[in-house]
Amino acid sequence: MASNNPYLPYLGTLVGVRDLATGVKMFQVALDDPGERADFTYQPGQFAFVSAFGVGEAPFGLASTALRGPVLEFAVNRVGTVTDALHRLGEGDVVGVRGPFGNWFALDEMKGKDVILLGGGIGGAPLRPVIHTMLDQRADYGRLTILWAARLPSLLIFTDEFDDWRAAPDTALHVTVDQGDEAWTGDVGLITELLEKVAPAPENAVTITCGPPIMIKNTLLTLKRLGFSPDQMIVTLEAKMKCGIGKCGRCNLGEKFVCTDGPVFSCAEIGKFLESF
């Protein structure tokens, strides 16, 4: 059987664990085997399974980009047994990593265009490598507009990077929360309301949306109203998965599998889905 077993994870060590938001932690994983580390090449948009040995594994979008180093980063929201087990781990603990899986954002096709990124809650995680890539290759892309949202201020992720993002040339960051708190002085309202306010122009533009299903659906409707065509609207979807390689049958939407045909889809493709996500 040996090494061509797609169910066999790589072993990795947690080299960093930090809080990102209430119930959300950032895990930095360094794969133990140098050969595996070198082989693990991935693109923004792809995902990997992270194992909390003894409980199980779950899929997480890769929140890092190889452009900035070999350490793999995952933003993990504590919602179930696997994520709970991961949250109990600390630096030095061993995890498993299987991947990278799925397709990725066609960033090359976005060069020269204006890019609008919409991240809701933990959905912002797969957009982070896109932001990093575009900031690191700033001249290749047009105007960058980031809309960031969460239910509460304490649930906003990557707040420690907001200054960096804002500081980049021709880059705007707009943040909103569904519900503010005493300290919050920013916008309050849904991301769709913020989107209407910002009203980015659809000409020569492309959008990427990620967040809870209801947020994605409403955002796409709003983008459509603002004049964006289905091909200009990219999303990345979440599904319950057990294998990541199209075998377990769980993540299908019609004849498409989120793990192998996605998780990145255009609105045009989703429009052809038999099933709603």
Partner 1 sequence: MQVTTREHLTAWLDGLARHLTLIAPKTVEQRVLYRPVADSSEIAFDFARTDLPVKEHFLPPTHVLLSIEKGKEGVRLGEPSPERERVVFGLRPCDARALRVLDALFLKEPADPYYAERREKTTLVGLACREMGEQCFCTSLGLAPDEAGDVDVMLTVMEEGRGGEEGRRYAVQVMTEKGAAILGVLNLEKVEGALPVPAAGSKTPVLEAGAWPRLFDHAYWARLADRCLSCRLCTYVCPTCRCFDVRDYEVPCEGASSGGASNGSAPGGRIERLRAWDSCMAEGYRRIAGGHNPRLTKGDRLRNRLYCKFCYYPQDYGPVACVGCGRCIARCPVNVDVVEVLADVATL
Partner 2 sequence: MGEGSELIDKIRAKARELLQGGRVDCFIGYEEGSRGRARPAFIYDPQDAERLIWDERCAHNLVVYLHQFKSPLRRGEEPPRVGILVKPCDSRSLNILFREEQIERERVYVVGVTCDGVRTNGQPQERCRRCAERVPLVYDIVMGGVPNVLGRDDYADVTKLEQMSPRERLAFWTKEFDRCIRCYACRQACPACYCFECVAEQLDPAWMGIAIDLSQKQFFHCMRAYHLAGRCSGCSACEEACPMGIPLSLLNRKVAREVEALFGYKAGQDAETPPPLATFKKEEQLPL
List residues binding partner 2 (CB under 8 A).
Answer: 80-81, 84
3-class SS of residue 218: helix
CA 19, 153, 64, 8 torsion-angle sign? positive
Q: Which of 70, 26, 74, 71 is nearest to 48 (CA)?
A: 74
Residue 239 partner contact from partner 2, partner 1, none using kind-dependent CB cut-offs of 5 to 8 Å: partner 1
Please state, in angstroms and rounded to a whole number, the distance separating the CA atoms of residues 97 and 57: 9
H helix runs in the chain, sequence order: 34-39, 81-87, 107-110, 128-136, 162-167, 191-198, 213-225, 267-271
Per rule CB under 8 A, is residue 213 in the interface with partner 1? Answer: yes
Site membership for partner 1, residue 157 (CB under 8 A): no
Min separation Cβ 59 and partner 2, Å: 17
In whole angstroms, how close is the CB of 85 to partner 2 at the nearest point? 10
Query: Is the separation of the CB atoms in 235 and 254 below 8 Å?
Result: no
Return d(Cα 90, Cα 18) in angstroms, integer.
9
Which among partner 2, partner 1, none contacts residue 238 (Cβ within 5 to 8 A by kind)? partner 1
Long-range pairs of 4-9 with CB within 8 A, sequence gap ≥ 24:
6/98, 6/243, 6/245, 7/98, 7/243, 8/98, 9/49, 9/51, 9/57, 9/96, 9/97, 9/98
Using the rule CB under 8 A, which residue among 16, 39, 81, 204 binds partner 1? 81
Query: Between 240 and 259, how does the x/- string for binding to partner 1 read (CB under 8 A)?
Result: x-xx-xxxxxx-xxxx-x--
| Footprint on residues 6-35 left by partner 1 (CB under 8 A) | 6-9, 11
The length of the chain, given as a count of residues: 277
Binder of residue 11, out of partner 1, partner 2, none (CB less than 5 to 8 A by kind): partner 1
Which range in 23-31, 124-132, 169-177, 237-245 contacts partner 1 by CB under 8 A? 237-245
Q: How far is the CB of 81 from partner 2 (least distance, A)?
A: 5
Closest distance to partner 1 from the beta carbon of 142 (Å): 33
Tell me whether residue 166 or residue 250 sits nearer to partner 1 (CB atom).
250
From the list 167, 172, 107, the residue with the least C-alpha distance to 145 is 172
Contact set with partner 1 (CB under 8 A): 1-2, 4-9, 11, 51-57, 77, 79-81, 83, 85, 88, 94, 96, 212-214, 238-240, 242-243, 245-250, 252-255, 257, 274-277
